[in-house]
């Protein structure tokens, strides 16, 4: 398990092994995504959208309109507050 210590300014150094696994380096962005009470996932936010190509192929059953997407996003956001 990799660990890090928080400085008085709220900063941490991500261990080299974790940076390597995430494929991030100096200047890259990461996101902290809440996955549970007191639990967060660290996600590399510097990946190209092109890396998702084919990931959902065959999984979408019907096209969804922009309005349906916005409604779904609004419902989800309201549940998280």
Query: What residue ranges do the domains of the chain occupy?
Result: 16-80
Answer whether residue 62 shows pLDDT above 60: yes
Q: What is the pLDDT of residues 8-50, one digit of tens each?
A: 999 999 999 999 988 888 888 888 888 889 999 888 887 666 7
- What kind and span of H or E run contains 71? helix 66-80
pLDDT at 27: 86
User: What is the band of 60 on the pLDDT scale with cuts at 50, 70, 90?
Assistant: low
Q: Which residue has the higher pLDDT, 61 or 18?
A: 18
pLDDT at 20: 92
Q: Determine the Cα–Cα distance for residues 77 and 81; give it in Å rounded to an integer.
A: 7
C-beta of residue 14 within 8 angstroms of C-beta of residue 4: yes
């Amino acid at each position: 398990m990799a660990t890090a210590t928080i400085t008085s300014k709220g900063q941490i150094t991500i261990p080299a092994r974790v940076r390597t696994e995430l494929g991030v380096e100096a200047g890259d962005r990461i996101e902290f995504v809440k996955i549970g009470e007191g639990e967060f996932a660290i996600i590399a936010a510097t990946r190209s959208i092109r890396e998702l190509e084919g990931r959902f192929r065959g999984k979408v059953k019907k096209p969804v309109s922009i309005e349906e997407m916005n409604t779904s996003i609004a419902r989800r956001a309201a549940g998280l507050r």
